[in-house]
Amino acid sequence: MNVLVTGGAGYIGSHTVRALLERGCRVVVLDNLSRGHRGAVPDGVRLVVEDIHHVDAVRALLTEEGIDAVMHFAAHSQVGESMEKPTIYYDNNVVGSYCLLEAVRRAGVKYVVFSSTAAVYGEPEQTPITEDMPYCPTNVYGQTKLMIEQMLAQFSRAYGLRYAALRYFNAAGASRDGSIGEDHTPETHLIPLILQTAQGIRDHITIFGTDYPTEDGTCIRDYIHVVDLADAHCRVLQYLAEGGQSQAFNLGSQHGFSVRDMIRAAKAVTGRDFAVEEGPRRAGDPAALVASSEKIRRLTGWQPQYSQIETIIADAWKWHSGHPNGYDDKA
Ligand code: UDP
């Protein structure tokens, strides 16, 4: 299959590019490099520096490359920023995805696999979360992803597009060899921040809230290895190609770990001690988010291989310790 990966120079996109190549797909990456990294795209893969808003250019690319499927990762993904600057989230995520889907429709591409999020559920009434639970995003980021899912469903009904929306819980880790990994500016995610503290790049890690209604008072999340996520994308594409129904799938490990659990595990894996401070809650953080991934397991045979927290942290540590400044493209 010929697959176009938008946002293929970003964190989850770049791992999925490798997974597709391993399965014999031909891959083209489209990325405007606003947040992605040229160094995350493997040698020999065509990187087209273009913006998903440009319908004619994207349509021409889809046709020229004979693209069968689009995997759509290109998006802004920071919850806090989305609340402060909603306009860039509506423009980049919603309008950008509309333009991309319009190019997909005009080029007659059959399949889209979309990078969605557990943030579409907001504060869930119960865990584990299943796909039929109500959508109630508590932040603009989750709202934009939900709107794109709805757009996909409508394009699917009207034009016969086949799609899957993958709702990630907490994507984490790095490639098994530590050659690619997470590099956001600014970094806001727990595991990279903990590991930068273990490296001495930061002088402490702050726990955001110790008064949640959980066993140790800190938030519980479901961490899923980025290599397992990448594998899920390939399986879902195969599922669609074999006639599977368009729909959304949760992607998590089905296990919850608190912030204190993660800090403890990071100290054990890295063998380093570091300063931990307790701070107030971060606005918009639900107490506990744990996925039911039963549906994707049942329909595609997906099974996480590397999502034990020690493996996630060990792989992320390989990346961070080998690349203390991330990719070599900082000014
Ligand atoms: N967190 C924390 N300190 C930090 C960053 C994150 O305590 O410096 C907590 C955060 O409140 C959440 C969990 O770690 O409960 C995971 O946060 P992250 O930003 O990695 O992912 P999110 O769950 O927001 O998608």
Q: Whose CA is nearest to atom 20 of ligand 1?
A: 189
Taking a C-beta distance cutoff of 8 angstroms, is the pair 248, 167 a contact? Answer: yes
So which residues are the catalytic ones? 141
Q: What are the structural domain ranges in the chain?
A: 2-172+223-251, 190-221+254-322
Q: How far is it, in rounded angstroms, from Cα 205 to Cα 242?
A: 46
Gap from CA of 63 to ligand 1 centroid (Å): 41
Say which residues have a Cβ less than 8 Å from residue 56's Cβ, sequence separation at least 6.
103
pLDDT of residue 84: 92
Q: pLDDT tens-digit profile of 20-46? A: 999 999 999 999 999 999 999 999 999
Q: Whose CA is nearest to atom 10 of ligand 1?
A: 208
Ligand 1 atom nearest 282 alpha carbon: 11
pLDDT cut 90: percent of the chain above it = 94
Q: How far is it, in rounded angstroms, from Cα 285 to Cα 188?
A: 13
Q: pLDDT tens-digit profile of 210-255? A: 999 999 999 999 999 999 999 999 999 999 999 999 999 999 999 9
Ligand 1 atom nearest 219 alpha carbon: 15
Ligand 1 atom nearest 119 alpha carbon: 25
Q: Whose CA is nearest to atom 11 of ligand 1?
A: 208
Pocket perturbation via mutation, ligand 1, pick of 282, 290, 309, 313 by most ligand atoms within 8 A of CB: 282
- Model-level pTM? 0.97
Is domain 2-172+223-251 annotated with CATH 3.40.250.10? no
DSSP, collapsed to helix, strand or coil, labels residue 157 as helix
Q: Decide: 285 in ligand 1 pocket, CB within 6 A.
A: yes
CATH number for the domain whose boundaries are 190-221+254-322: 3.90.25.10
Q: How far is it, in rounded angstroms, from Cα 205 to Cα 200?
A: 11
Gap from CA of 257 to ligand 1 centroid (Å): 11
Is 80 exceeded by the pLDDT of residue 331? no
Comparing CA positions, the residue from 313, 330, 328 lying closest to residue 195 is: 313
| ipTM for the complex shown | 0.99
